[in-house]
Structure 1
Amino acid sequence: MSSVTFYRFIRANVKTLLGVIQALVFIFVTIVKNPFKNPWVTKLKLEPPAELTDPKYGVHKYIKANNIKLHYVESGDPSKPLMLFLHGYPEFWYSWRHQIVHFKKDYRVVAVDMRGYGDSEKPEDIFAYKMEYLVEDIKDLIRALGHDKCILVAHDWGGIVACKLRELHPEIVHALIMLASASLDVLFRQIYTTSEQEKRSGYVFLFRAPKIPELLLQMNDLQFLEKIMLVKGKDTINDQDIECYKYWLRKQSGLTPPINYYRANILYTWEEKFFEEKVPFLFAFAENDKYLNKSILDVMKTRYATIETIVVDDCRHFLQQEEPEKVNKLMRDFLAKNNL
């Protein structure tokens, strides 16, 4: 291990420790303020919200890919090109509801619950969420669905996985549309080299800790979801949508597998690599993203021979849900320009 790598390792551990201390202080203060209320009581529901079974989104199916059972929602003509949606944290297939309805006329749209999420299988081992397994899941899924290639549309962690798939297997990607994300290498490069991205990624280091992140997020019936997703003055993400996310995250196995994505994939080194493959690539960034700094845009443009970048105005991190009309239009324009 080089001295630089060792320094980053120590730095990451210090940030994890500081995050844990802050989390414990917050939990302590919350309990002291209201000692007769249990902040970890959840409103577990046996029946899913009606939105999750609405037939307008398609048919719910299961498939075996990379020796793991994945749940997905499918809509559109199976003979048309495959448009595969990969969600981010802390979402599942439902985050693509607006895009499913919009694109199902022209594509076979499939929105999958990635391993550990929603109704897909949830391995217990942290190392089951290493990047190589996540990439192989999607590669094998495309093949299991009967396609050689697909249009990949991905957000947040889905984008990280999609980016790696495009790097390792460009031959199976017609095009990549990535929203509010980055490649794993670029993300950690910016975390360790820019103070702004390091600040915005504090939660990444907290999530390395055992148990504490789950306790923190579970508080007040998963209130963190309202804080990160609801936008004042906009109704494209509403209370009913939040209930859909809570339905899965309230379950006993709901919180830990998604957090394991972070635990399994912390980097201390990265590759400064250039990818020459001419795969159409649209990288859309949210103007008011709390978690990603715009410096990522510039670095991503140095890594790929074919990449277009765009900033979606007046929008936060969950942009395909918050601004579905804007996102659907930029997607459609990009696909039309590339005859896809």
Structure 2
Amino acid sequence: MELSTHLYRFTVVNVLTVFYNLLVLLLIGLNSVKSLFVNSSTPKRKLEPPACLTDPKYGVHKYIKVNNVKLHYVESGDPTKPLMLFLHGFPEFWYSWRYQILEFQKDYWCIAVDMRGYGDSEKPDGLAPYHLKELVEDVRDLIRQLGREKCILVSHDWGGLIACKFRDIYPDVLSGIVLLASLSQEAWLHAVWNNPEQKKKSWYVFALRWPCIAERFLQMDNLAVFDKGMMVPGKDTITAQDIECYKYWFGKQFAFTPPLNYYRANFSYCLPEKQVKGKVPMLVALAANDLFIDTSVLDLMKKEYDDAETVLIENCSHFIQQEEPEKANKAIREFLAKHKI
């Protein structure tokens, strides 16, 4: 990349980072002033996990040491059947796959993992442990430790970025790959610099770069970000009880910092052109009403991966597998059946 382009991007990124963080600070300040006049005492966080987190219908909770990090995961289904590994996004944990576990556990060996830094998995300090190469190696070593040579990767949001990079490095390990409301790191970077709509929808990426401020913002009003960001008026697939599950884990002290370090450790002004190796059946499903990913990204993903199949989920926003589980499961089922995976 030319020096002038690098300087331009450096300037734009940092101006946007300052701008959005000033807006966030303003919102935090207004919220603090409001609390002086409104009796809105924050409820005490529950020390015991909501009952649905330990419901045996979702499987057995286990721990495993991979790539020098202890990960928590939920296992369901017959271990003799094909491995289906679920990678969640931000700000989620294994529970975001509850509908898919129930759907696929009869035909696959389902493993829904808490990525490093999330839920009950180990949370290393600093930025280096959250570099994409480490996250990819977590997945590679997990598959190896589970005793498998191949798997189906089903991913959402940040899990999809990891899945794409995994596909780039280890295509022979994959029987198939599914991305829900996600894209590759390269496609995101291209879209941000060439699509004004995607740049607007990526405001949060810039806002999350500064430490402390983002954590304070996400914790406001008893973690209202989950109520406002996940629950959809008129739909009952994400309930108040489900939101309590998220608040149980993210309400803990410093719980947001490791997940935010995914953004902070992997932000880049440019990426080299990559050579896609091998052929892997791939499904990319975006939500028509996604507030964070522009649907034009589907074309970028088809250009980057010529074997990618794309689906647009109508009347749905970012958290596809939770908001519209029937549509998500149907799309995955049809993809798997088509390729006899």
Establish whether TM, by shorter chain, passes 0.5: yes
Corresponding residue of 1:245: 246
* 2:75 matches 1:74: yes
Q: Verify: 1:186 aligned to 2:202, yes or no.
A: no
Cα root mean square deviation, aligned: 1.4
Q: Name the CA distance, whole Å, in 2 between partners of 1:230 and 1:320.
A: 13
Task: Give the CA deviation at 1:3.
Answer: 2.0
- Map residues 134-145 of structure 1 onto 2, 5 A cutoff: 134-145=135-146
**Rounded Cα–Cα distance in structure 2 between residues aligned with 1:279 and 1:136:** 19
- Cα distance in 2 between the residues matched to 1:131 and 1:73: 23
Aligned to 2:296: 295
Matched ranges for 1:107-186 at <5 A: 107-186=108-187
1:227 equivalent in structure 2:
228
Map 1:247-266; keep pairs closer than 5 Å.
247-266=248-267
Counting aligned pairs with the same residue, the percent is: 56
Report the TM-score when normalising by structure 2. Answer: 0.97
CA contact (8 A) 1:63 1:69 kept: yes
CA distance in 1 between partners of 2:39 and 2:179 (Å) = 40
Structure 2 unaligned residues grouped into runs of 5+: none
Letter in 2 for 1:205: F
Structure 1, gaps ≥5 residues long: none
Change (3 A) 1:253 1:30: closer
1:267 CA displacement: 1.2
CA contact (8 A) 1:276 1:305 kept: no
> In 1, are the aligned partners of 2:86 and 2:113 still within 8 Å (CA)?
yes
Runs of at least 4 residues off by over 4 Å: 36-42
Q: Structure 1-normalised TM-score?
A: 0.97
Structure 1 residue identity aligned to 2:68: N
Provide the C-alpha distance between the structure 2 equivalents of 1:6 and 1:278, rounded to a whole number of angstroms. 37
2: CA distance, partners of 1:43 / 1:160: 35
Moved more, 35-44 or 202-211: 35-44
Amino acid of the residue matched to residue 257 of structure 2? T
For residue 137 of structure 1, report the CA deviation from its aligned partner: 0.3
Residue 106 of structure 1 aligns with an amino acid whose one-letter code is D
Structure-1 residue corresponding to 2:89: 88
Deviation, structure 1 residue 42: 5.7
Q: After alignment, is 71-80 or 24-33 more displaced?
A: 24-33
- After TM superposition, the structure 1 = structure 2 runs for residues 263-302 of structure 1, keeping only pairs within 5 Å, are 263-302=264-303
Per-residue deviation, 1:32: 2.0
How far did 1:10 drift? 1.8
Whole-angstrom distance in 1 between the partners of 2:7 and 2:144: 40
Residues 31 and 37 of structure 1 are in contact (CA less than 8 Å); yes or no, is this contact kept in structure 2?
no
Aligned residues: 340
Q: Which amino acid aligns with 1:305?
A: D
Which residue pairs with 1:310 in the alignment?
Answer: 311
Question: Does the 8 Å contact 2:168/2:277 carry over to 1?
Answer: no
2:283 alignment partner, SS class = strand
What amino acid does structure 1 have at the position aligned with 2:47?
L
